[in-house]
Structure 1
Amino acid sequence: MKKNTYLKKITVLLFIITPIIIIMGYSWTNSTVGELIRERHNPSVICPRMISQQSITPLKHTKHLLVSAYMDQRSGGFDLRIIGIFKRDSVDALYCSLCCAGLVSETTPSIILPHSDHFGFPYGTMDVLCQIPDNCDATHVTLLTAPSTATRSEQLWIPIKNKKTSNKEENKLDLTVCISTLFGTYNNVLQFAQTLEMYRLLGVNRVVIYNTSCGLELNRLLKSYSQEGFVEMVPWPIDRYLNPSRGWNFKEHGGDLHYFGQLTTLNECIYRSMERSRYVLLNDIDEIIMPYQHDNLNSMMDMLQSQHPNVKFLIENHIFPKKYFEPSRKFHLHRWSNVPGINILEHIYREDPNSTYHPYKMIVQPRLVEQTSVHQLLRNLGEQFYVPMQICRIIHVRVALLKSLQWEELNEDKRLWDFQEKLIPNVDQVLRRAGLLTED
């Protein structure tokens, strides 16, 4: 009898304890899984939390601005190059933090490479080199002011560009033109359209423009070109963060940064084009790099490249003063009268370059460039070649540089007229498409 009672008590006890054990085991298992889940979703582990969608990103706890990050396999083991605008007297050590397929890597020290051209302004272009860890599929990067990860959650991450997405070779562009900055109320619509259509006839595939601001009519034209795909517009709101200068000389013009960040945008455009374009033309919007022995720039570059491989090509700048007009006024077209800007077909007289100030512009192979200024490369992997003016020169319609010259002392140059049969209807078409040409 006692034995039966004892067995009953054990059975009841087991009946009560077993679910508890099961529940405890389930809870322990869930607790472990929960810790793993919480660990996986810990802000200090998962990345990126906050991605910058802007072309200029302030770096917290510094006076610096980040612009973009590009894969760069040429830098002696450092795989990633960040282009930024730094306060030159406040450059301290920075540490790279990479997002590797959704997980944060250990921080690593960076190498900071200032650009030697800054024209005396407080802010200048700088590169930050980061080393990508082994087995890291890096997608985003941020910079920290200390090796600790304590402030990492506060920073914005920027995407890493020029990543190889597949083994398939992408179709590369032949020629890209980089236009550094548009700002103020610049509204030279007619010359802008003529220049872009001239470049299209010469074989240029894309024009990249960094736009802070411009006039109303030019903005309409830019939108039309952007929708078509010929122009790639990069928003450039540098005036939200700094007091950019409208000139190149700090002592004369003041401000925080040279010419609305022209040096930064030219370097950014080179890296933007590095994996997708054979050649990059670095020039202003009122300049046309014009071949004089070839019908297009591709043929000219094939010839130059065969004779001078792995070089940068420097092109002479020739100014066509806008105050002197072709006498017959044959290209003074009535339908363009209400379009703001200069009609470059009416200006056929050019100055000889001034021997004391003779700026060049460049055509480069982007993979041979590390850092550039406006008229020369600062760090490059090749030699340079000055292209004779008989082969190529810049047609630059603007105010006269040599103001003492008279009309009789100028040289007649009608090279643009060789393209007028195609150029004029093409300009008409783009102006009409943008709603800027209302009569024929």
Structure 2
Amino acid sequence: MEKAKGFKGNLFFLFIATFIFIFILSLKTPRTYRSTPQPRWAPTPATCPLVSNTTITPLQNTQHFLVSAYMDQRVDGLDVRIIGIFRRDSIQPLQCFFNCGSRCNNSAFLTSPTTVLQHSDNFGFPFVTTDAMCSIPKDCHPTHVTLLTQPHTLRGSDLSWLPIRNQKTNGKETRFKFNFTVCVSNLFGDYNNVLQVAQALEMYRLLGVDRVVIYNTSSGPELSRLLHSYSQEGFLEIVSWPIDKHLNPSRGWLFSQFGGDLHYFGQLTTLNECIYRSMERSRYVLLNDIDEIIMPYQHNDLMSMMNTLQRQQPNTGVFLIENHIFPKKHFEPSGRFHLPQWNGVPGVNILEHVYREDPDRNIYHPHKMIVQPRMVEQTSVHEVLKHFGERYKVPLEVCRIIHVRVALRGPLPLEQLHEDKRLWDFHEKLIPNVDGALQRAGLLRSERES
């Protein structure tokens, strides 16, 4: 009995000693305290959200693609517009997912419902340009946004985020950096019309354009050198547009005729993207192709023309300019501007083509546009789809498009065309400027080589 009592006493003292040892050890071990619960979507410094570094971002768990996001508070109750390319037959409910902070280790992540607006022009293709419209949650000052299909299964670090552009600072209106920006949609198919591009860009510079934005899927080697040169000097902004890496883009405008996933390599998406890209920095945006020049006929520059038009049409935000074809198969007979230094440059010499077709007004005749970007919500190629303010068709004697390309009305003989030498009014400055641009790009042959 005495042995049993001793054994129990030893166990008691052993238990007490063990308890004291563990208590002392715990005093030396650091402890973590949580003063407040952490936000559900708060990342750690090691799991910072990934910002998309491409212009076309696949959206997880969908067949859709995100392009860019812009602050846009022109529509009541909505604050952010995410431009995308969605498959029309599989649009599901989505949520906007906001990064409400400036640093990855000091951010909260909040969601809000999304309204997806399909643009009305899709020309029968499976994929369509879309706007995902979102309201910003209360007490959120977002820097980045994305879309979610299942908000509770992903972490902020699992997603590709889009920066929210066009954010105003201190509530002040942004002063326009540019008067005119030209938006050129989609170079593709290794396009290499070097001489005509140089002439068009230099012509626009003479007319007062400050910036040209080109969406480039693929261009030929000489044209790539020319575009790079213009980009380096700051006149040209090249936006990479690798749409062919994600979809089977069409080379035509109508699905029933050309097939494919998306109209003209995503032309509608790039035109809309360019309007929003330019909205806070350019007073006017010209929406046209690289082989088209929107040419004033009563003024020597675009600013003088627009000042006149805006005085006459003060509530107008969309100016429609009629397209006129100058068939490249007809040459001006004197050869005055068939210049030897351009013989080795690939492409069309627009100064040699001075004969203009009359449009067939019995069928639809397209226009291109000069717009005030803040007065446009959605655009197609030849018309705006949603806009604020008025539209105005500019009279032909004031402005028209000079479009040197294959004839639209092929059978017309030369006698039924009209001589139009408006481009020649600028030749004294245009020719040396084109020579300089080609020279800087290393594309102009020397007289010794000619």
Q: TM-score, normalised to structure 2's length?
A: 0.89
Corresponding residue for residue 142 of structure 1: 146
Give the AA of the match of 2:33.
T
Offset of residue 382 of structure 1: 1.5
Offset of residue 151 of structure 1: 5.9
Q: Distance in 1 between matches of 2:208 and 2:99?
A: 39
Task: Tell me if the contact between 2:286 and 2:369 (Cα under 8 Å) persists in the aligned partners.
Answer: yes
Alpha carbons of structure 1 residues 45 and 109: separation in structure 2 relative to 1, 3 Å = farther
Corresponding residue for residue 253 of structure 2: 248
Alpha carbons of structure 1 residues 282 and 173: separation in structure 2 relative to 1, 3 Å = same
Task: Tell me if the contact between 2:111 and 2:137 (Cα under 8 Å) persists in the aligned partners.
Answer: no
Corresponding residue for residue 351 of structure 1: 357
Among 160, 164, 174, the alignment partner of 2:179 is 174
Where 2:32 maps in the other structure, the secondary structure is: helix
Corresponding residue for residue 79 of structure 1: 79
Q: Distance in 2 between matches of 1:357 and 1:432?
A: 42
Q: Distance in 2 between matches of 1:63 and 1:338?
A: 45
Among 317, 320, 324, the alignment partner of 2:326 is 320
Offset of residue 310 of structure 1: 3.0
Where 1:157 maps in the other structure, the secondary structure is: strand
Between 391-400 and 164-173, the greater mean CA deviation after superposition: 164-173
Give the AA of the match of 1:346.
E
Moved over 6 A (4+): 16-19, 35-41, 44-47
Structure 1: which 5+ residue stretches go unaligned?
1-12
Corresponding residue for residue 8 of structure 1: none
Offset of residue 54 of structure 1: 0.5
1:264 equivalenced with 2:265 (yes/no): no
Give the AA of the match of 2:430.
L
Task: Tell me if the contact between 1:247 and 1:253 (Cα under 8 Å) persists in the aligned partners.
Answer: yes
Task: Tell me if the contact between 1:44 and 1:149 (Cα under 8 Å) persists in the aligned partners.
Answer: no
Corresponding residue for residue 308 of structure 2: 303
Where 1:239 maps in the other structure, the secondary structure is: helix
Render the CA deviation track for 1:140-177: whole Å, top value 9, x for unaligned. 11111134354654321111111124558444210000
Corresponding residue for residue 6 of structure 1: none
Q: Distance in 1 between matches of 2:124 and 2:111?
A: 33
Corresponding residue for residue 111 of structure 1: 115
Among 118, 127, 138, the alignment partner of 1:123 is 127
1:50 equivalenced with 2:55 (yes/no): no
Among 187, 210, 227, the alignment partner of 2:232 is 227
Q: Distance in 1 between matches of 2:327 and 2:94?
A: 48
Q: Percent identity?
A: 63
Among 406, 413, 423, the alignment partner of 1:399 is 406
Give the AA of the match of 2:198.
A
Task: Tell me if the contact between 1:44 and 1:152 (Cα under 8 Å) persists in the aligned partners.
Answer: no
Between 146-155 and 202-211, the greater mean CA deviation after superposition: 146-155
Task: Tell me if the contact between 1:316 and 1:360 (Cα under 8 Å) persists in the aligned partners.
Answer: yes
Render the CA deviation track for 1:192-218: whole Å, top value 9, x for unaligned. 000000000000000000000011000
Between 326-335 and 301-310, the greater mean CA deviation after superposition: 301-310
Q: Distance in 2 between matches of 1:426 and 1:229?
A: 16
Q: Distance in 2 between matches of 1:140 and 1:130?
A: 13
Give the AA of the match of 2:319.
F
Q: Distance in 2 between matches of 1:44 and 1:99?
A: 13
Between 173-182 and 143-152, the greater mean CA deviation after superposition: 143-152
Alpha carbons of structure 1 residues 249 and 36: separation in structure 2 relative to 1, 3 Å = same
Q: Distance in 2 between matches of 1:39 and 1:104?
A: 6
Corresponding residue for residue 10 of structure 1: none
Render the CA deviation track for 1:292-327: whole Å, top value 9, x for unaligned. 000000010011011112321000101000011111
Q: How many pairs does the alignment contain?
A: 423
Give the AA of the match of 1:308.
Q
Q: Distance in 2 between matches of 1:193 and 1:146?
A: 49
Where 1:246 maps in the other structure, the secondary structure is: coil
Render the CA deviation track for 1:331-383: whole Å, top value 9, x for unaligned. 00011000000000001100011111310001100011110000001111121
Offset of residue 439 of structure 1: 1.6
Among 418, 430, 434, the alignment partner of 2:437 is 430
Structure 2: which 5+ residue stretches go unaligned?
1-15
Between 253-262 and 306-315, the greater mean CA deviation after superposition: 306-315
Render the CA deviation track for 1:75-125: whole Å, top value 9, x for unaligned. 212110000000000001100110011423332110100000010000010
Where 1:371 maps in the other structure, the secondary structure is: strand
1:32 equivalenced with 2:33 (yes/no): yes
